Amino acid sequence: MLIGLSLLSGCTVPFDFFGGKKPPPTPPHTSASWEGDTAAAAQAFEEGRLDEAEHRLELARERAAAGTGNELAVAASLSNLAVVRRARGDIPGAIDVQKEALAIRENSLGPNDLEVAATLNGLAGLYALNDDYTAAEPLLIRALAIREQTAGADDRRTAESVNNLALLYAAQGRAADAEPLYQRAIAIFEQRQRSDQLATTLENYAALLADTGRTEQAEEMESRARALRAADVRPTPAGP
């Protein structure tokens, strides 16, 4: 399914957001038709048939909305639609459906649930694609606060939010605010043995160092990141 919202993962400058996660279990009370439409949409998306993917996700949303107790399935369909619309370049449309998904998850799961944090992160990423950093910043700050409170200060999801906020500050030219956040995220990923995320954060930090004239330090961070990627083997993560 498309529910894994890595909305800005792999994006070029200035953002390379984390946020991807494995699809959750199928929401309760959903029908086989909802599952079928969602699976068909995922396949169409992978094959680049974006019109078909959006059509099948609209059907999935309608099926979920027609039943009772399907709020999270509706939210899943909306977030999946955001992924497809982003791929089509329809950022305003992606923002609209992601905002709907956020409202549903807040109402169904509570304002401090980790799924709410992930949705906030995805929404912030969409605003950032529109260079609307003013709208993105409070969403990232709130996502970070939720993850710190719910998952813990040294959880890898917290580190992802720290990295994301650092990226935003770097894009705004706020190097003094971004740098300690990068350093914090790096320390957590080192502790948690998350070499792929560590490499990405090192690359992000290297870009900041280069932009602020610290070429030697930037090269050191880039070298560390290259070594991690070349190893192509990640140690078993030490918990979340």
State the Cα–Cα distance between residues 166 and 178, nearest whole angstrom: 4
Provide the pLDDT for residue 12.
23
Torsion of CA 169, 170, 172, 178, to 10 degrees: 30
What pLDDT tens digit does each residue of the chain (240 aa) get? 222 222 233 222 223 344 443 334 445 444 568 888 888 888 899 899 999 999 999 998 998 888 767 899 999 999 999 999 999 999 999 999 999 999 999 999 999 999 999 999 999 999 999 889 999 999 999 999 999 999 999 999 999 999 999 999 999 999 999 999 999 999 999 998 888 899 999 999 999 999 999 999 999 999 999 999 898 655 555 556
State the Cα–Cα distance between residues 240 and 238, nearest whole angstrom: 7
What are the structural domains of the chain?
Answer: 1-139 (1.25.40.10), 151-233 (1.25.40.10)
Q: Does the pTM exceed 0.75?
A: yes
Q: Contacts by 212-218 with C-beta closer than 8 Å and gap 24+?
A: 212/175
| Token pair listed for 42 | 């995922």
Query: Which of 18, 101, 9 lies closest to 57 in space, CA to CA?
Result: 101
| Token pair listed for 56 | 């099948």
Region of 164 (left: φ > 0; alpha: ψ -120 to 50; beta: rest) is: alpha
Q: Are 225 and 206 in contact (CB under 8 A)?
A: yes
